[in-house]
Amino acid sequence: MTAGGGKVALVTGGGRRIGAAISRSLVGAGYSVVLTYRASRREAERFAGEIGGTALPLDLARPAAYRRFADRLRGSHGRLDLLVHNAAVFPRTPVGTLSALEWDAVFSVNLRGPALLTGALLPLLQDTPGAGVVFLGDANAGDLWPGYLPYCLSKIALVHLAKGLRKTLAPDIRVGLVRPGLALPPPGFPRERWERLRAGGTRKGIGSPEGVAKAVLRFAKAGDYNPFNLRPKGASQ
């Protein structure tokens, strides 16, 4: 159980990259943060120790484990005030060589995972007054990058999942969406190409991990039903 009945946040993939910025921000705001990892146990546990959080394993591609995870979270923390769907995969998947396994691997983590995990955690969220669920979309998914079509399509669909859950879960559970822009390059993405992308065209979405974390924190602190598509003031969509 949390000390003094403090608020609890769950951040999927919260030990790395943008997820780490979100986890750190929520700890600074007084949340007990539980962050999940799939394979990077040592890195996640080390980071959780640094910020005073807890790292738990969860493979979003294996929904059979969701109920057990929810039971474990209830047993260890007793409540869930904020669910942050941060974890996602971004593999290069050219259409000419795209396999069914590659397609399913993207959608199982980026779309099916957030949908079914929310369902598994719903009893815990419903037991916590003012609980919220926030999804991380992608402001550039509509560009439909040729080498990353499954990723882009999964993020476009995620927007509609969030909107549907907002209708379904209101007014007891708040649902929001944060749209990062070119905040961090994907692993292995050529640095020069990334800088060209950031320098050219109209900037869309939130441009830094810290900015994304601030938007998530704004949602977490909202006392009433939040506006959709949260983003810092002045940021383009």
Instruction: Note whether residue 237 is domain-resident.
Output: no
Helix ranges, the chain (H): 17-28, 41-51, 66-77, 100-107, 113-126, 149-169, 191-199, 209-221
For 228, other C-beta atoms within 10 Å of its C-beta total: 12
Tell me which of 31, 37, 66, 151 is the catalytic residue: 151
234 assigned to some structural domain: no
3-state secondary structure of 154: helix
Domain count within the chain: 1
H or E segment at 225?
none
**Residue whose tokens read 């969509």:** 237
Residue 67 domain-assigned?
A: yes
Q: Is residue 140 within 8 Å of 204, Cβ to Cβ? A: yes
What's the pTM value of the predicted model, to 2 decimals?
A: 0.90
Q: Identify whether 140 is part of a domain.
A: yes
pLDDT at 195: 80
The answer to whether residue 76 is domain-embedded is yes
**CB–CB of 103/93 below 8 Å?**
yes
Which sign does the torsion angle of CA 139, 172, 64, 32 carry? positive
72 C-beta neighbours (distance < 10 Å), count: 15
Q: Is residue 73 part of a domain?
A: yes
Residue 83 DSSP SS3: strand
What is the Cα–Cα distance from 90 to 128, expressed in whole angstroms?
33
Q: Judge whether 6 and 30 are in contact, CB under 8 Å.
A: yes
Domain that holds residue 47: 3-221
Whole-number Cα distances in Å, 217 to 24, 87, 133, 208, 226:
11, 17, 12, 14, 12
Q: CA separation (Å) from 97 to 83, 88, 100, 147?
A: 35, 21, 10, 10
Residue 57: inside a domain = yes
Cα separations in angstroms, 168 against 95, 122, 173, 218, 220: 35, 12, 9, 22, 19
Pair 73, 123: CB distance under 8 Å: no
pLDDT truncated to tens, each residue of the chain (237 aa)? 454 359 999 999 999 999 999 999 999 999 999 999 998 899 999 999 999 999 999 999 999 999 999 999 999 999 999 999 999 999 999 999 999 999 999 999 999 999 999 999 999 999 999 999 999 999 999 999 899 999 999 999 999 999 999 999 999 999 999 999 887 777 777 788 778 777 776 668 898 999 999 999 999 988 544 445 544 444 443
- The CATH number that applies at residue 139 is 3.40.50.720
Report yes or no: 107 and 158 within 8 Å, Cβ to Cβ. Answer: no
- Are residues 155 and 107 in contact, defined by beta-carbon separation less than 8 angstroms? no
User: How high is the pLDDT of residue 203?
Assistant: 63
Annotated active-site residue 66? The verdict is no
Q: CB 144: neighbour CB atoms within 10 A?
A: 12
Residue 229 lies in a domain: no
